[in-house]
A and B are shown apart, each in its own frame.
Chain A
């Protein structure tokens, strides 16, 4: 009897001991909610793979802290994103989140995350409310503020010397924001403005108007498959030679480039990152990316990677603790990492202050199409909403 009790006690003690040991070695869980399915699935894949690449390069750690990335697919449904966040918060007690691709999913999901006292680090979407009045101490953005993408396109059009522009976007919130962002910085005259249907696949009627208006440049924000169809029709109509196109990064990444082919030659793009950036951090990233995945890196990949580096820098300083959000914030805001973009700081609204560059689609010596960096067009550029943020 006595012997039996003793055995039980020691077994219990052993169980307890091993449990606490397991607890100490438990990696820090990071909730990664992203869009992996549907036509836009490659965006989430690239962000995830960029993030995981940084974790792998450190041997399963970020800033010396072992981490476990818990990935879930939101399917581009805001309700689904919110459901996943609630599950991760309540059942898995996750305190640190990242990964969301689309602004509408972010808008539905992030308030719950922040209300629960957890931290969100955005590798992509950054709608204006969270950059201005509704900014939050536990909400960080590593990518850009949505509008600054299109503001940079306006600046690019100025620097290319265009005096007039025809602008076009689908008739929904992101489309309206895009045109507003472009108009905020473009100094020339807007000679035409069209809102298209979101399900539109044939743009012949619109392109005829562009031709008739004879603008210096054409700015468009038609996401995904729409943009690919538009670029091809633009070329087929012979407009490519007549009216140069100016777009922001989301309208032309490495994947769209591959789908569009020759029709994209000569398009002007403005972006915060490009695969040919000549800095050591980017070279290391590009080499590791190509080795690990053997497909072109998009700017989504670079943002996933940068988000992981930013988190790593903060974790290194807090020793892996995320419960003390004030200490995490102090550490995070130092942005003590080498971004693949080069210059990177956080502004007062915890969104990036960074440089923007003009890129152009050119045909390389290998016969392949490349986005080639031309010059810097904006230095230390934040966003238009930071002034409304009181933190």
Chain B
């Protein structure tokens, strides 16, 4: 039983890490540029497709990863230059409409180019199979790799934001955009850089999702909503908040899914417990968001 709890914790952390890669970009873009970018999920999808197609062609993990990052990064820069950059001074409704249109356009284009059949990425042989972490605790190697990569990226972002000049500007931008501009910083270049970084992170999440999930049109929207929830929980513009918020959301979602029906079965019969349990567990993360909005509306991990 204890091993089951440990395994579910690992599952929750792994899910949280994927959410973090998505929400880190989202929170920066929203916090610094004030843009609600619904098309962030599309960048995740583009990263996944680029990696999947290259992996199928070459069979190389490294090339696939590079393709995923580059694909999403280039797509992100194009979006920024062609569309998003015109939206900075518009209100949120315009941004939502424009980026929602981007979702539709990108999804339809992907359908035309690669079709509706989901793509499946072969598991890299190096990471296939599972390892015994503790007696009775067997865990897929690939998911451990995902957790590892996420932690490394988290540490890298921490260093970038807290220890470098660019990071200082990013932090300053998140606090007061006008002041940064007034101090003579080329805010346009900073915006493009941040957007590109967010896109690359989304591409990384997408590329890593390929071997576990199926790569298909619309995959971005599934994770996008949760990523927005994470941004709200963690606090807009805070990468640190996104990290803890994502882990919290991942753990709550997974643990509720895993244990709520079992707990409810002590008080009611099987099928009712399952129905209520799965209903409640899919609400879990949103309930958390509602509580956060009530108690600490600026985010759980933001110093007020």
Chain A residues, Cβ within 8 Å of B271? 193
Within 8 A of A (CB), among B237-269: 254-255, 257-258, 261
Cross-chain contact A204 with B278 (CB below 8 angstroms): no
A136 in contact (CB, < 8 A): no
Within 8 A of B (CB), among A224-251: 225, 228-229, 232-233, 236-238
B212 in contact (CB, < 8 A): yes
Cross-chain contact B120 with A232 (CB below 8 angstroms): yes
Cross-chain contact B130 with A238 (CB below 8 angstroms): yes
Cross-chain contact B8 with A205 (CB below 8 angstroms): yes
Within 8 A of A (CB), among B38-86: none
Which residue in chain A gives the minimum CB-CB distance to B282? A197
Cross-chain contact B214 with A229 (CB below 8 angstroms): yes
B270 in contact (CB, < 8 A): yes
Q: Which secondary structure characterizes the binding site on chain B? A: helix
Cross-chain contact A171 with B222 (CB below 8 angstroms): no
Chain A residues, Cβ within 8 Å of B139? 237
A347 in contact (CB, < 8 A): no
Cross-chain contact B219 with A260 (CB below 8 angstroms): no
A: number of interface residues (CB 8 Å):
32
A195 in contact (CB, < 8 A): yes
Contact of B214 among A38, A209, A225, A236 (CB under 8 A): A225
Contact of A201 among B3, B123, B219, B270 (CB under 8 A): B219
CA distance A320 to B288 in the complex (A): 66
CA distance A233 to B62 in the complex (A): 22
Chain A residues, Cβ within 8 Å of B261? 194
B: number of interface residues (CB 8 Å):
41
A103 in contact (CB, < 8 A): no
Interface string of A19-31 (1 = CB under 8 A from B): 0000000000000
Q: Which of B117, B142, B211 has the largest number of chain A CB atoms within 10 A? A: B117
Cross-chain contact A39 with B117 (CB below 8 angstroms): yes
A259 in contact (CB, < 8 A): yes
B285 to chain A, nearest CB (A): 13
Chain B residues, Cβ within 8 Å of A39? 116-118, 216
CA distance A94 to B139 in the complex (A): 58
Cross-chain contact A202 with B212 (CB below 8 angstroms): yes
CA distance A212 to B257 in the complex (A): 15
Tell me whether A195 and B278 are in contact in the complex, defined as CB-CB below 8 angstroms, given that A39-B118, A208-B8 are known contacts.
yes
Interface string of A126-137 (1 = CB under 8 A from B): 000000000000
Cross-chain contact A205 with B117 (CB below 8 angstroms): no
B contact set with A: CB distance below 8 Å: 1, 3-4, 7-8, 11-12, 14-15, 116-118, 120, 122-123, 128-130, 138-140, 142-143, 211-214, 216, 219, 222, 254-255, 257-258, 261, 270-271, 274-275, 278, 282
Complex A-B: 15 CB contacts under 8 Å? A41-B116, A171-B274, A194-B274, A201-B213, A205-B12, A208-B7, A208-B11, A225-B216, A228-B118, A228-B214, A229-B212, A233-B212, A236-B123, A238-B130, A259-B118
For the complex of A and B, the 5 pairs showing the least CB-CB separation, nearest first, are: A238-B130, A204-B11, A212-B4, A205-B258, A201-B213
